[in-house]
Structure 1
Amino acid sequence: MNEHGELVLFGAGGHAAVVADAAVAMGFVLVGVVDAMRPVTDGRPPFGGVPWLGPPDDPDPSLHELLGRGARVHAAVGDAGLRRRWLGDHADHAACIVHPTAVVSPSATIGEGVFIGPRAVVNARAVIGTGTIVNTAAILEHDARTGEFCHLAPGAIVLGNAMVGDQTLVGSNATILPAITVGHRTTIGAGSVVTSDLPDDVRAFGNPARDR
């Protein structure tokens, strides 16, 4: 028996490929992919030889058989709304995927269905909400918090005691300074520096980051 058991991925795009690599490195066996379109593969990893289980709205009956025997599910898409929907549909089977090279403090709190990518760092007493992506080399510093279904893109940094609202995207190499609060459903552009609080539903870019 493998270390973590069987895993079904919802999603078959680029992010799903990254998640698949991490899951296999953890010891999962990838037993199915659910996506609107059959994955294009030349037979190589991560999806070569992995059964396509149909679209999310009309999956193959074998999905239910896999879940019935204990397979886990991970929503491996960038779209926060889809992650929320798919994780909600399969909450009892949700798996967190944490790449073996990630550094996660034992005092951190990790929600259901979270992905933590290669070389990411989650430091002491940080909190990651359900369905959030902490992508490659992103950093969540001590006592920082994310809401649910956020995305910290590659290289993003959320410094100590900062708070990120639900479904917010922190772009690649963006930095949120200590004790800053960012609202829900906000987008922070790549490379931006957030020096003051941001409200809900804005798109902020630059240094300092401002609503554009």
Structure 2
Amino acid sequence: MPTEIPSSQPLLIFGAGGHARVVADAVQQAQTDWLLTATDRNDRLCTGELLPGIPLATMDSLGSWFGALHVAIGDNHAREKESLALGLRQLVSVVHPRSSVSPYARVAEGCFVASQAAVAPGAQLECGVIVNHAAVVDHDCIVAAFTHIAPGALLGGGVRIGSRVLVGSGATVQPGRTVCDGVVIGSGAVVCHDIDQAGTYLGIPARRVS
């Protein structure tokens, strides 16, 4: 299960965009007494508040950060880059209280599971995975590091997904299929066969288009 953040301890949300606001909202609903701050490498974004009560601060003003950290960036490559740069040991996962994560699933550090998402028994989420709103990761799936399962996507039982994969909104990967690293599965596509070559796949059944 995800790393627990002790009550009334500081948590830094790294990111100042829409995904960061979604993560911050989940944290507030899960534990209202966590002490939240947000930051970004772009100082121009670090003014005001990420959400009401969550200040945005420049990285310089924060100095060396020794508390918990969640990298809240939707882009897979950018999330991986920042997670490695900031230090994997500090990363914690955020799980929305209205998601369903089996106690028999494994959620590694730095993951985010959004509202209405489901992660079934035997599923494994490696570092920095996003399971977005209403997405389903069925039993015994393995999702490799820094992959993004977009809203409403479905991974059937026993699916294997590589690293830095984007499974688009409403897409389906049928049970038992394998998808290699670096693949983009377009919105609404249905993966009926194993994918062993990086690229973008669209349609029903999903076919490589680039």
TM-score of the pair, normalised by structure 2: 0.89
1:81 counterpart residue number: 77
Is residue 94 of structure 1 aligned with residue 91 of structure 2?
yes
Is residue 38 of structure 1 aligned with residue 45 of structure 2?
yes
Q: What percent of counterpart residues are identical?
A: 35
2:3 counterpart residue number: none
Equivalent-residue separation in structure 1 for 2:63 and 2:53 (angstroms): 16
The answer (yes or no) to whether the contact 1:39–1:47 under 8 Å persists in 2 is no
Equivalent-residue separation in structure 2 for 1:195 and 1:32 (angstroms): 41
Q: Select the residue among 4, 25, 30 that pairs with 1:26.
A: 30
Q: Alignment length, in residue pairs?
A: 200
The answer (yes or no) to whether the contact 1:4–1:26 under 8 Å persists in 2 is no
Equivalent-residue separation in structure 2 for 1:53 and 1:159 (angstroms): 41
| Paired residue type of 2:78 | L
Equivalent-residue separation in structure 1 for 2:46 and 2:152 (angstroms): 28
Equivalent-residue separation in structure 1 for 2:47 and 2:186 (angstroms): 31
The CA deviation at 1:5 is 2.3
CA RMSD, aligned part only?
A: 1.7
| Ranges in structure 1 where 5+ consecutive residues have no aligned partner | none
Q: 1:153-197 deviations in whole A, cap 9, x for unaligned?
A: 000100100111100000001000000001101000001110001
The CA deviation at 1:61 is 4.5
Is residue 13 of structure 1 aligned with residue 13 of structure 2?
no
Q: 1:6-30 deviations in whole A, cap 9, x for unaligned?
A: 2111111111110010011121331
Q: Which runs of 4+ in 1 moved over 4 A?
A: none
* Aligned partner of residue 8 in structure 1, secondary structure: strand
1:211 counterpart residue number: 208
The CA deviation at 1:40 is 6.5
Equivalent-residue separation in structure 1 for 2:102 and 2:53 (angstroms): 35
1:163 counterpart residue number: 160
1:72 counterpart residue number: 68
TM-score of the pair, normalised by structure 1: 0.88
* Aligned partner of residue 190 in structure 1, secondary structure: coil
The CA deviation at 1:47 is 2.8
The answer (yes or no) to whether the contact 1:12–1:35 under 8 Å persists in 2 is no
Q: 1:114-147 deviations in whole A, cap 9, x for unaligned?
A: 0000010000100111001000110000001101
The answer (yes or no) to whether the contact 2:40–2:46 under 8 Å persists in 1 is no
The answer (yes or no) to whether the contact 1:84–1:149 under 8 Å persists in 2 is yes
Q: Select the residue among 3, 7, 10 that pairs with 2:7.
A: 3
The answer (yes or no) to whether the contact 1:8–1:34 under 8 Å persists in 2 is no
